[in-house]
């Protein structure tokens, strides 16, 4: 009987740790309700993203250039003192970029 209670307690403890870690730190791939990229007069690209939900924050923005394509990705987590914003902006140097993808979707192409 003690062994069963010990296993049950260990399972509850594991869930009590794993669920908050998943929600507040690991998250899911970002799927913002709003994202926009445009070319400024300064020759840079200006990338904006925002979420409609007030309890969602972004983290872990990654930019990877392969040839003339730029791939952008991020994660969504619950708002906490570690990750507190569901809004993101960054200027991007063109450096020969002719296509920009966000979350696997083409969001900008050179004209």
Instruction: Please give the pLDDT value at position 3.
Output: 87
Instruction: Please give the pLDDT value at position 71.
Output: 95
Segments of the chain scoring below 50 in pLDDT: none
Instruction: Please give the pLDDT value at position 104.
Output: 84
Domain-located, residue 80: yes
Instruction: Please give the pLDDT value at position 43.
Output: 84
Closest CA to 94 of 42, 24, 36, 29: 42
Instruction: Please give the pLDDT value at position 23.
Output: 84
Give the number of domains in the chain: 1
Domain-located, residue 101: yes
What is the extent of the structural domain holding 48?
28-109
The model carries a pTM of 0.81
């Amino acid at each position: 009987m003690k062994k069963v209670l010990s296993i049950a307690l260990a399972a509850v403890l594991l869930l009590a740790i794993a669920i908050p870690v998943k929600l507040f730190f690991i998250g899911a791939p970002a799927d913002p309700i709003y994202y926009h990229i445009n070319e400024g007069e300064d020759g840079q690209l200006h990338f904006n993203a925002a979420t409609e939900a007030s309890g969602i924050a972004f983290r872990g923005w990654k930019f990877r250039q392969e040839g003339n394509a730029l791939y952008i990705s991020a994660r969504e987590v619950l708002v906490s003192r570690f990750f507190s914003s569901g809004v993101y902006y960054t200027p991007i140097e063109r450096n020969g970029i002719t296509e920009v993808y966000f979350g696997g979707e083409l969001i900008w192409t050179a004209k």
